[in-house]
């Protein structure tokens, strides 16, 4: 399958009885069923090893489930071939704990990658870049290399790359893990702005304070399963 379209009519994310066991026998996820609707802002919380990162990896296709079904934007992610997965990722924005910036490229060049792979023209790239860098507060650092930025700025540069193409779904895996409280709150505010523009946001974090302050739906994972889940759709909202 080489599907590239994004199905707005279905839920942004759907998991049915998804389990993931790694080659070494470690359990990533156990029988997880959940749904994230388009336009939602959801936190995935849990201790280290609870399965947060595994869940997000399954959503952007870096891992395949051992059992169950993973649907993102109307596509069964494990069924996508390499090209199909690349096309699906064009609808996603991915943020990681360490920013995942290319050290030899400037902030602007890193952020522009997401646009270049989508075939945008130079003017459109410049227009979108300016807006994205303004959103994350890095207008004056566009020509800096990652090594010239602080940890918080590097994270925001990674966010700029993730949002520059206005994705349908933003997946952030421990985006505040390396940041102090002020920078962490700044990052959450950026996500909120993006959410206000209509993007579905899924953020994994172990920072309960941040989750409580943000006031959004929370999915709690424990030992790879949804915590306290009796029913398949076990979601608690704060």
Partner 1 sequence: MALLLFLVGTGLQSAWLLENTLEGMGDRLEISVYLTDGTDAIQMQTRFLQVAGVERVEWIAKEVAWQRLQADLGEDGSALGLNPLADELRVRAQDPVGAVAAQLSQFPGVEEVWYAKEALTRLQELRQALTYVSVAIVGVCTAIALATLVTTIRLIVFARRREIEILQLVGATPRWIYLPFVMQGGSFGLVGGAIAWAVLALLTRALEPIWAVQPELIRSLTGGSLFDWRTRWLLPLVLLGFGGLVGILGSLLAVNRFARRSPDLNLAEGG
- By CB under 8 A, name the binding residues for partner 1: 46-53, 56-57, 60-64, 81-83, 85-90, 92, 94, 96-98, 100-102, 113-114, 117-118, 161, 173-174, 177, 204, 206, 221
Which residue's entry shows tokens 């650092």? 141
Q: How far apart are CB 137 and partner 1 at their closest, in Å?
A: 21
User: Between 206 and 216, whose beta carbon lies closer to partner 1?
Assistant: 206
Q: How far apart are CB 237 and partner 1 at their closest, in Å?
A: 21
Q: How far apart are CB 49 and partner 1 at their closest, in Å?
A: 5
Q: Are strands 75-76 and 67-72 parallel, antiparallel or unpaired?
A: antiparallel
Q: How far apart are CB 178 and partner 1 at their closest, in Å?
A: 10
* 138 in Cβ contact with 160 (< 8 Å): yes
User: Between 198 and 223, whose beta carbon lies closer to partner 1?
Assistant: 223
* Separation between Cα atoms, residue 78 and residue 57, nearest integer Å: 11
Q: What is the DSSP code string of 82-122?
A: HHHHHHHHTTEEEEETT----TTS-HHHHHHHHHHTTT--H
User: Between 71 and 92, whose beta carbon lies closer to partner 1?
Assistant: 92
* Separation between Cα atoms, residue 37 and residue 201, nearest integer Å: 10
* 34 in Cβ contact with 233 (< 8 Å): yes
User: Between 54 and 186, whose beta carbon lies closer to partner 1?
Assistant: 54
Q: How far apart are CB 53 and partner 1 at their closest, in Å?
A: 5
Q: How far apart are CB 97 and partner 1 at their closest, in Å?
A: 6
Look up residue 226 and give its two tokens: 């949804």
* Separation between Cα atoms, residue 69 and residue 63, nearest integer Å: 13
User: Between 117 and 236, whose beta carbon lies closer to partner 1?
Assistant: 117
What 3-state class would DSSP assign to 208? helix
User: Between 67 and 102, whose beta carbon lies closer to partner 1?
Assistant: 102
Look up residue 236 and give its two tokens: 């608690």
């Amino acid at each position: 399958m080489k599907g590239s379209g994004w199905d707005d009519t279905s839920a942004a994310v759907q998991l049915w009885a998804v389990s993931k066991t790694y080659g070494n026998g470690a359990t990533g996820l156990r029988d997880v069923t959940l749904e994230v609707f388009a336009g939602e802002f959801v936190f995935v919380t849990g201790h280290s090893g609870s399965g947060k990162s595994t869940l997000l990896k399954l959503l952007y296709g870096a891992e395949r489930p051992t059992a169950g079904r993973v649907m993102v934007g109307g596509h069964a992610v494990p069924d996508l071939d390499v090209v199909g997965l690349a096309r699906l990722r064009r609808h996603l924005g991915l943020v990681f704990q360490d920013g995942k910036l290319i050290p030899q490229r400037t902030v602007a060049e890193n952020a522009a990658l997401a646009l270049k792979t989508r075939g945008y023209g130079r003017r459109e790239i410049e227009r979108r870049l300016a807006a994205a860098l303004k959103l994350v507060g890095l207008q004056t650092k566009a020509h800096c290399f990652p090594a010239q930025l602080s940890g918080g700025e590097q994270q925001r540069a990674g966010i700029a790359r993730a949002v520059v193409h206005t994705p349908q779904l933003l997946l952030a895996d421990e985006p505040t893990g390396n940041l102090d409280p002020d920078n962490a709150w700044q990052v959450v505010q950026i996500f909120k702005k993006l959410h206000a523009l209509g993007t579905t946001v899924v953020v994994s974090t172990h920072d309960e304070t941040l989750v409580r302050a943000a006031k959004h739906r929370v999915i709690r994972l424990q030992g790879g399963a949804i915590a306290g889940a009796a029913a398949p759709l076990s979601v608690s909202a704060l």
